Amino acid sequence: MDPTAADVATLWQARFGTAPGAVELPPALAALLDRRVARRYRAEPVSDALLDGLLAVAQSAPSKSDLQQYSVVVMRDPARIKRIADWIGTMPWIASAPVFLVWCADMRRGVRLCDMHGMPHANNNLDTFLNGAVDCALAMGQFITAAELIGLGTCPISYVRSHIEKVTPLLGLPPGVFPVSGLTVGWPDGRRPTSMRLPPSVVVHRERYDDSAMPDAVRAYDERRHAREPVAPASQKSRDVYPPREGVGWSENSARQLSVPERFGFSAYLKTRGFDLA
């Protein structure tokens, strides 16, 4: 079924595993409910003109105080993309993407702007780190939406931060710039199943934060998701700490991942790259 013309209720059922109830969503936006990551790509190029247009759309995303504290490194060289795929190790399909974008938070530009005008840069702190990361994420999200609306496939790759000490020199990133996420881009070869999301009642709070009903809602979500797509033992997180077993649901698999430190040296790395984080 063409997702741009599909019934909203059908798309909602696929996304959340429940009926939508009283929800209003214009048909033109219904396709966004059907968004899926792409991890297989056809051997078909993405033109420079199209990519530049999509990057311009990304730059039209909101930016904190119009400071635009991010940069994007465009990678097209298959050998260089494969190096990142090889470092990650568990995602060889990255090498099949004709384009790999590395979205970076960028404090360096602000430092240079202050230097250009003979002023001190007085905001090397945790707030600037966060603003740069958020600016970067907003732009990447807008790029993903635009790309997928015209039929391209994408997949964010946070694992570039797991090999940040190699990615940084590969891309020539100077102090004050760090990678937030990679993004594969290409014409998808097939479509993956819809990834079921948490019910809006868990994520959306009205007037005040209230997660008192969260445990019951998550248990019901676990059951719906397990019935559609069980977590296979090979897909369970932290298998070297927690032995894989049958019956692991989304919430337990998330807990398995969150209970083991990831990227333990990330803050130390940032401090060596000029970020005070105070």
Cα–Cα distance between 92 and 62 in angstroms, integer?
A: 33
| pLDDT (0 to 100) of residue 22 | 84
pLDDT band at 170 (very low <50, low <70, confident <90, very high): very high
Give the list of residues 6+ apart from residue 252 with CB closer than 8 angstroms, or none.
222
Cα–Cα distance between 24 and 5 in angstroms, integer?
A: 15
Residues 40-80 have pLDDT tens digits of: 999 999 999 999 999 999 999 999 999 999 999 999 999 99
147 pLDDT above the threshold of 60: yes
pLDDT band at 2 (very low <50, low <70, confident <90, very high): very low
pLDDT band at 1 (very low <50, low <70, confident <90, very high): very low
Mean pLDDT of the chain: 94
CATH of domain 48-189: 3.40.109.10
Cβ proximity of 84 and 182 under 8 Å: yes
Both tokens of 120, joined, read: 């001190």
Give the list of residues 6+ apart from residue 185 with CB closer than 8 angstroms, or none.
46, 51, 97, 98, 99, 100, 101, 147, 152, 153, 154
Cα–Cα distance between 58 and 151 in angstroms, integer?
A: 16
| pLDDT (0 to 100) of residue 28 | 77
The whole-number average pLDDT for the span 169-190 is: 97
Residues 184-236 have pLDDT tens digits of: 999 999 999 999 999 999 999 999 999 999 999 999 999 999 999 999 999 99
| Residues facing residue 156 across a β-bridge | 183
Every domain of the chain and the residues it spans: 48-189, 217-262
| pLDDT (0 to 100) of residue 31 | 81
| pLDDT (0 to 100) of residue 53 | 98
Place of tokens 């991010």: 70
| pLDDT (0 to 100) of residue 278 | 84
Give the list of residues 6+ apart from residue 203 with CB closer than 8 angstroms, or none.
none
Sheet with 177-186, side-by-side order of all strands: 70-75, 99-106, 177-186, 153-157
3 pLDDT above the threshold of 70: no
169 pLDDT above the threshold of 60: yes
pLDDT band at 25 (very low <50, low <70, confident <90, very high): confident
Q: What percent of the chain has pLDDT over 70?
A: 98
The whole-number average pLDDT for the span 243-263 is: 95
Tell me how many degrees the CA angle 37-270-133 measures, rounded to the nearest 5. Answer: 40
37 pLDDT above the threshold of 50: yes
Exposed e or buried b per residue across 237-258, where buried means at least 16 C-beta atoms within 10 angstroms of its C-beta: bbeeebeeeeebbbbbbeebee
Q: How far is CA 124 from the centre of its chain?
A: 25
